[in-house]
Amino acid sequence: MTLENDVVVVGGGPVGMLLASELALAKVRVRVLEQRRTRTEQSRALTVHPRSLEVLDQRGILDRFQRRGVPIPAAHFAWLDTPLDFSRLDTRHPYTLWLAQTQTEAILEERARELGVEIQRGRSVLEVAERDGEVALRVEGPEGQVEERARYVVGCDGAKSVVRRSIGIGFPGTDTTVTAILGDVELDDPAARPFRHTCSRGAVMAAPLPPGDHEGVYRFVVFDPQRAHVSTSEPVTLEELQSGVARIVGRDLRMRNPRWLSRFGNATRVAERYRRGRVLLAGDAAHIHFPAGGQGLNVGLQDAMNLGWKLAAEVNGWAPPGLLDSYHDERHPVGGAVARNTEAQTQLGDVSEAGMALRHLMSELLAIEPVNRRISELISALDVAYATGKTAEAHPWVGRRAPDRALVTDRGAARLYELLHTARFVLIDLAGAVDLREAGAAWSDRVDVVRATAAPESDLAALDALLVRPDGHIAWASDAARRATRLADPRSALEAWCGPA
The pLDDT of residue 1 is: 44
Give CA–CA dist 247/252, Å, rounded: 8
Q: Of 238, 265, 292, which residue is a domain's last?
A: 265
Q: Is residue 83 part of a domain?
A: no
For residue 153, the one-letter residue type is V
Give CA–CA dist 20/315, Å, rounded: 13
Q: Band of the pLDDT at 408, cuts 50, 70, 90?
A: very high
Provide, rounded to the nearest whole percent, the portion of the chain with pLDDT above 70: 97
Nearest to 104 by CA among 157, 50, 40, 156: 40
Same domain, 186 and 254: yes
Nearest to 290 by CA among 380, 163, 173, 202: 173
The model's pTM is 0.96
Question: What burial class does residue 380 get, using C-beta atoms within 10 Å of its C-beta: 0-12 exposed, 13-18 middle, 19+ buried?
Answer: buried
The pLDDT of residue 482 is: 57
Q: Of 216, 240, 265, which residue is a domain's last?
A: 265
Same domain, 155 and 214: no
**H helix intervals, 323-427:** 325-347, 353-366, 369-380
Give CA–CA dist 495/501, Å, rounded: 7
Same domain, 32 and 146: yes
The pLDDT of residue 215 is: 75
Mean pLDDT over 93-106 rounds to 96
State how many domains the chain has: 3
List b or e across 120-148, with b for residues whose CB sees 16 or more CB atoms inside 10 angstroms: eeebbbeebebeeebbbbbbeeeeeeeeb
Same domain, 140 and 183: no
Same domain, 198 and 152: no
Q: Is residue 198 over pLDDT 60?
A: yes
Q: Of 226, 244, 265, which residue is a domain's last?
A: 265
For residue 403, the one-letter residue type is P
The pLDDT of residue 63 is: 98
Q: Is residue 351 part of a domain?
A: no
Same domain, 33 and 133: yes
Q: Band of the pLDDT at 182, cuts 50, 70, 90?
A: very high
Are 454 and 414 within 8 A, CB to CB? Answer: no
pLDDT tens digits for 155-171?
999 999 999 999 999 99
Same domain, 237 and 300: no
Are 77 and 198 within 8 A, CB to CB? Answer: no
Same domain, 250 and 276: no
The pLDDT of residue 486 is: 41
Question: What burial class does residue 79 get, using C-beta atoms within 10 Å of its C-beta: 0-12 exposed, 13-18 middle, 19+ buried?
Answer: buried
Nearest to 337 by CA among 285, 385, 282: 385
Same domain, 38 and 119: yes
Q: Is residue 393 part of a domain?
A: no
Long-range Cβ contact pairs of 60-68 (< 8 A, separation 24 or more): 60/418, 60/421, 61/107, 61/111, 62/93, 64/107, 64/110, 64/111, 65/97, 65/99, 65/103, 65/104, 65/107, 66/97, 68/99, 68/103, 68/107, 68/210, 68/211, 68/212
Distance linking the first and last C-alpha atoms of the chain: 29
Q: What is the DSSP letter of 473?
A: B
C-alpha torsion angle, residues 309, 310, 313, 315 (rounded to 10): -100
For residue 53, the one-letter residue type is L
Q: Is residue 2 over pLDDT 70?
A: no
Mean pLDDT over 178-195 rounds to 87
Q: Is residue 321 part of a domain?
A: yes
The pLDDT of residue 484 is: 47
Mean pLDDT over 39-48 rounds to 88
C-alpha torsion angle, residues 65, 70, 74, 75 (rounded to 10): -70
pLDDT tens digits for 220-242?
999 999 999 999 999 999 999 99
Q: Is residue 63 part of a domain?
A: no
Are 155 and 163 within 8 A, CB to CB? Answer: yes
Q: Is residue 420 part of a domain?
A: yes
The pLDDT of residue 154 is: 98
Same domain, 14 and 130: yes
Cα 176 to its chain centre, rounded Å, is 23
Query: Residue 482's domain is classified under what CATH number?
Result: 3.40.30.120
Q: Is residue 333 over pLDDT 60?
A: yes
Query: Residue 239's domain is classified under what CATH number?
Result: 3.30.70.2450
Mean pLDDT over 63-69 rounds to 96
- The overall average pLDDT reported for the chain is 94
For residue 65, the one-letter residue type is F
Q: Band of the pLDDT at 489, cuts 50, 70, 90?
A: confident
Give CA–CA dist 466/444, Å, rounded: 16
Nearest to 288 by CA among 207, 171, 371, 210: 171
Determine the structural domain holding residue 322 and report its residue range. Answer: 5-46+100-174+268-327
Q: Is residue 423 part of a domain?
A: yes
Mean pLDDT over 106-118 rounds to 98
Query: Residue 277's domain is classified under what CATH number?
Result: 3.50.50.60
Q: Is residue 7 over pLDDT 90?
A: yes
Same domain, 296 and 155: yes
Q: Is residue 356 part of a domain?
A: no
List b or e across 18-32, with b for residues whose CB sees 16 or more CB atoms inside 10 angstroms: bbbbbbbbbebbbbb
The pLDDT of residue 434 is: 73
Same domain, 107 and 149: yes
Provide, rounded to the nearest whole percent, the portion of the chain with pLDDT above 90: 87
- 154 compared with 39, residue with greater pLDDT: 154
pLDDT tens digits for 463-483?
999 999 999 999 999 987 655
C-alpha torsion angle, residues 244, 248, 252, 257 (rounded to 10): -40
Give CA–CA dist 19/29, Å, rounded: 12
Mean pLDDT over 97-123 rounds to 97
Q: Is residue 485 over pLDDT 70?
A: no
Give CA–CA dist 398/383, Å, rounded: 14
